[in-house]
């Protein structure tokens, strides 16, 4: 089967979950003998640099020249259309949302929906970041839609009035854990780990408040928040008002290897989010042997199963109770580690690619 992925996401993300997803399934499909082309054009995506040259049709740029993004995306569309006309793919999988096709073809078109966060929480985004109209147009054009969770599918049907039969659910996966090698742990105090951005729906402030409500947690543990920008003045003021020391709630960033080492050293990973389209960090933590405490909201129960302690993300007391349970009950912590390894093993990019191919074959 000749499969083409269009260039959209690779000109948007240098790193990120969406581009990683497409790279991983493209690699898996290629390994199974499918003829896969990532029509990346001039792109900024680092994941593509590690792909086989047979997969990637394009050129990596460290960054786009000033004021050139529109021209480059137009050029990518032109070259993508040329390659499509020459190779005649059996299908096009669009990697993000556009009102008109970036790569034109008479072949079936597939689009993946990752979440409905912008539609549910539009006030948490700048107007220029919202792609709801483009998403609606892309989904209307698509012959079929992938959703990365059953919860996202339910929201998609409810908010956009799309027939259920037009949508197939295919879960994502986490990358295999990295070889961490020997490293020095410079963090002396046990810590709870938070990963990702800190929009309001991510519920980081509720996590801080729940943590601060326990004298035992405050005495014995720190918090490390990995990813996103440094703490805002509002966040620093909240930390101070909760009676937490500035060196007790630590922000850091880094590479996948840095994150892997934090997962491996963390006493637990806490995922307090109110809404997620899937929730890969839960599986990442499990794969490194890190116990998971997770919100029971949106898609997260689909991902964690019975391998995490869960809580209502709006109930701070319940969150505190579950954090104390994993922090001070060694038997429960060991059970979560064992269940986590098993649960993480139930998801793989090979499985994601295989189930995606099964849907493709219904149209090709």
pLDDT class of 269 with cuts at 50, 70, 90: very high
Q: What is the pLDDT of residues 69-120, one digit of tens each?
A: 889 889 999 999 888 888 899 999 999 999 999 999 999 999 999 999 999 9
Q: Collapsing DSSP states into helix, strand and coil, what is residue 357?
A: helix
Give the Cα separation of 187 and 331 in Å (integer).
Answer: 24
Identify the domain containing residue 10 by its residue range. 2-173+348-360
Say yes or no: 262 and 285 in one domain: yes
Domain count, the chain: 2
Domain-embedded: residue 185: no
Cβ pair 309, 325 in contact under 8 A? yes
Say yes or no: 354 and 334 in one domain: no
Domain-embedded: residue 40: yes
Give the Cα separation of 246 and 327 in Å (integer).
Answer: 21
**Residue 87: CB atoms within 10 Å:** 15
What was the pLDDT predicted at 314? 97
- Partnered with residue 224 across adjacent β-strands are 193, 250
Domain-embedded: residue 237: yes
DSSP assignment string, 226-275: ESSSPPPHHHHHHHHHTT--TTTEEEE---HHHHHHHHHH-SEEEE--S-
Helix 330-344 and helix 280-287: axis angle, to 10°? 110
Residue 184 has pLDDT above 70, yes or no: no
Say yes or no: 145 and 168 in one domain: yes
Give the Cα separation of 56 and 48 in Å (integer).
Answer: 7
Say yes or no: 166 and 237 in one domain: no
Say yes or no: 258 and 154 in one domain: no
What was the pLDDT predicted at 120? 96
Domain-embedded: residue 163: yes
- pTM score of the predicted model: 0.94
Say yes or no: 164 and 250 in one domain: no
Q: Collapsing DSSP states into helix, strand and coil, what is residue 339?
A: helix
Q: Phi/psi at 268 (nearest 5 deg)?
A: -165, 155
CATH code where residue 59 lies: 3.40.50.2000
CA dist list (Å): 354 to 144, 176, 360, 361: 17, 17, 10, 11
What dihedral do alpha carbons 353, 54, 174, 137 form, nearest 10°?
-60
Cβ pair 280, 174 in contact under 8 A? yes
Domain-embedded: residue 180: no
Domain-embedded: residue 269: yes
Structure tokens belonging to residue 254: 């880094």
Q: Which residue carries 């129960």 as its tokens?
A: 301
Q: Which of these, 138, 135, 85, lies nearest to 107 by C-alpha position? A: 85
Give the Cα separation of 310 and 297 in Å (integer).
Answer: 9
Q: What is the pLDDT of residues 188-227, one digit of tens each?
A: 799 999 999 999 999 999 999 999 999 999 999 999 999 9
What was the pLDDT predicted at 271? 98
Say yes or no: 123 and 166 in one domain: yes
Dmax (CA) for the chain in angstroms is: 67
Say yes or no: 29 and 157 in one domain: yes
- For range 141-145, the mean pLDDT: 98
Domain-embedded: residue 183: no
What was the pLDDT predicted at 66? 78
Give the Cα separation of 253 and 227 in Å (integer).
Answer: 5
Domain-embedded: residue 238: yes
Say yes or no: 159 and 10 in one domain: yes
Say yes or no: 81 and 160 in one domain: yes
Residue 256 has pLDDT above 90, yes or no: yes
What was the pLDDT predicted at 67? 81
Say yes or no: 90 and 199 in one domain: no
Four-residue CA torsion sign, 122, 110, 101, 24: positive
Structure tokens belonging to residue 35: 């003829």
Q: What is the pLDDT of residues 52-70, one digit of tens each?
A: 889 999 999 998 887 888 8
What was the pLDDT predicted at 259? 96
pLDDT class of 182 with cuts at 50, 70, 90: confident
Say yes or no: 284 and 315 in one domain: yes
């Amino acid at each position: 089967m000749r499969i083409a992925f269009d260039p959209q996401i690779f000109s948007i993300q240098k790193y990120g979950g969406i581009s990683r997803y497409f790279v991983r399934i493209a690699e898996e499909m290629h390994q199974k003998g499918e003829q896969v082309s990532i029509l990346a054009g001039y792109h900024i995506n680092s994941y593509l640099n590690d792909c086989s040259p047979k997969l990637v049709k394009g050129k990596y740029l460290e960054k786009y020249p000033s004021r050139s993004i529109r021209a480059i995306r137009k050029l990518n569309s032109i070259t993508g259309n040329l390659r499509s006309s020459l190779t005649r793919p059996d299908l096009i999988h669009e990697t993000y949302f556009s009102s008109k096709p970036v790569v034109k073809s008479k072949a079936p078109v597939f689009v993946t929906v990752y979440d409905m966060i912008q539609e549910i929480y539009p006030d948490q985004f700048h107007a220029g970041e919202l792609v709801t109209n483009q998403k609606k147009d892309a989904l209307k054009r698509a012959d079929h839609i992938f959703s990365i969770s059953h919860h996202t599918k339910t929201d998609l049907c409810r908010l956009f009035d799309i027939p259920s039969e037009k949508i197939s659910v295919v879960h994502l996966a986490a990358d295999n854990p990295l070889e961490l090698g020997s490293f020095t742990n410079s963090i002396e105090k046990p810590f709870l780990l938070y990963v990702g951005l800190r929009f309001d729906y991510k519920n980081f402030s509720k996590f801080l408040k729940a943590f601060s409500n326990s004298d035992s947690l405050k005495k014995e543990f720190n918090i490390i928040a990995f990813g996103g920008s440094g703490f805002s003045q509002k966040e620093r003021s909240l930390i101070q008002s909760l009676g937490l020391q500035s060196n007790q709630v630590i922000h850091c960033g880094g590479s996948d290897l840095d994150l892997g080492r934090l997962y491996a050293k963390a006493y637990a990973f806490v995922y307090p989010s109110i809404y997620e389209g899937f929730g890969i960090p839960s599986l990442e933590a499990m794969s490194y042997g890190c116990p998971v405490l997770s919100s029971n909201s949106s898609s997260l129960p689909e991902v964690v199963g019975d391998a995490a302690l869960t809580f209502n993300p709006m109930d701070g007391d319940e969150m505190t109770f579950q954090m104390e349970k994993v922090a001070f009950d060694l038997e429960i912590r060991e059970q979560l580690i064992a269940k986590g390894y098993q649960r993480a093993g139930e998801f793989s990019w090979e499985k994601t690619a295989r189930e995606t191919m099964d849907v493709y074959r219904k149209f090709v």
